[in-house]
Amino acid sequence: MAIVRRREFLAAAGGALTCMVGRSLPAWAQGRIKVSELDVLAVIDVQNCFVPGGTLPVPEGDKIIPLINAMAPAFQNVVLTQDWHTPGHISFASSHPGKKPFESVTLPYGTQVLWPDHCIQGTADAEIHRDLKIPHAALIIRKGHRRHVDSYSAFLEADRGTRTGLTGYLQERGIRRVFLVGLATDFCVAWSALDARRAGFEAYVIEDAEDLWDAFRKYDDVAARAVAQPKILTPRDLS
């Protein structure tokens, strides 16, 4: 096992993140993780919007799709999420005269980053990418569909009080571990992983990119300090 290539492994230690580079890996990471019927794969926002050619593209975001297709059959339980905004959504810069995309405003629930119009309900931009092939996915959680509140997390909307219903669904099915993959790592995947931990699930993020390290450090001060951090895996860690 090449430890240097697994620098994405993070562990919680006294509320702080530790990067497992050049160190002995903890017990949970000594071997490949066995997927069972108590696990769910949460595929986050793999939509036309977030790949090249979309309204809010993640660079090379489409390259993650074959990876997801390859790992999904290992999971008996799969859920998808879908950003699903109304026209004139409060998170759109176009809804705030004089504001530009990626500026911010203060809303009743806190600071809101403003985005280009994206993932508008019923448009091709909001559709699940056609190359994502997971026919056994049992649930699609649509988030951000309330006009006056944004949502990054698959579990809680941006007001941190409105629930999507995913927690109850997973609890009813006896799920214990949530494996997350999708777009974009530093927003919706990261927030979903942290909220999975808050809800009492073990959380694993499957990601080869190194930007997740920065994402969790960014959220540590405002959100993550009270919960154990999600564990970061590469696809090679699953069996």
Q: Which residues pair with 128 in a beta bridge?
A: 47
With the C-alpha atoms ordered 127, 129, 135, 139, is the resulting torsion angle positive or negative?
Answer: negative
Catalytic residue among 62, 125, 143, 150: 143
Respond yes or no: is residue 63 known to be catalytic. Answer: no
Angle at 220 between CA 83 and CA 75, to 5 degrees: 50
Rounded distance between C-alpha atoms, residue 181 and residue 207, angstroms: 7
> Structure tokens of 230?
């999600």
> Structure tokens of 158?
């941006």
With the C-alpha atoms ordered 49, 50, 54, 57, is the resulting torsion angle positive or negative?
Answer: positive
Respond yes or no: is residue 150 known to be catalytic. Answer: no
Nearest one of 135, 195, 140, 122 to 163, comparing CA atoms: 195
Respond yes or no: is residue 208 known to be catalytic. Answer: no
Catalytic residue among 83, 119, 125, 188: 188
Read off the amino acid at residue 32.
Answer: R
Alpha-carbon distance values, 105 to 108, 115, 117, 146, 186 (Å) = 10, 11, 16, 18, 20
Nearest one of 79, 63, 65, 61 to 186, comparing CA atoms: 61
Catalytic residues: 45, 143, 188
